[in-house]
Amino acid sequence: MRISHKKYVEEKQKAKFDFKKDYRKTDDYKETYDEISKIIKKYILPYAEISNLIYTKDSLEIFLNQDYKTDFNDKHIINLCKKNNFYLLTHDGDYKNSDINVISYNPKLSS
């Protein structure tokens, strides 16, 4: 999505065109979203496993007290990957120092 946003900004010569505020309202965003959705449905969902973590009051308190540098969503994803020995497919550089298996083309994540 970010690549499509960058391409759109360059083609339309829009100097200040925010991804969330502006680009999400465009037809280009919707078309890109639909294409990505088709790819996910065809090539990823047939092999996907849906999983979740159930937190107790005690485990949630531990969760809230760990690693102040990581936001709540990233923390949850890291815990989910650890518990299930999952690999995380992401481009998000926030996972650089996490101790989970990450698959990415993001150069920040390669070590």
For residue 101, the enclosing domain spans 57-109
pLDDT in tens, 72-109: 899 999 999 999 999 999 989 889 888 899 999 888 88
* 33 in the same domain as 66: no
* 36 in the same domain as 61: no
* 7 in the same domain as 41: yes
Task: Tell me the whole-structure pTM to 2 decimals.
Answer: 0.63
Whole-number pLDDT of residue 65: 84
Whole-number pLDDT of residue 27: 93
Could you give the maximum distance between any two Cα atoms of the chain, in Å?
52
For residue 80, being part of any structural domain is answered with yes
Mean pLDDT of 60-72: 83
pLDDT in tens, 18-60: 888 888 899 989 999 999 999 999 998 998 888 888 889 998 8
Q: How many domains does the chain have?
A: 2
* 92 in the same domain as 61: yes
Distances (CA, A) of 87 to 11, 21, 28: 36, 31, 31
For residue 11, being part of any structural domain is answered with yes
For residue 52, being part of any structural domain is answered with no
Residue with tokens 């949630």: 60
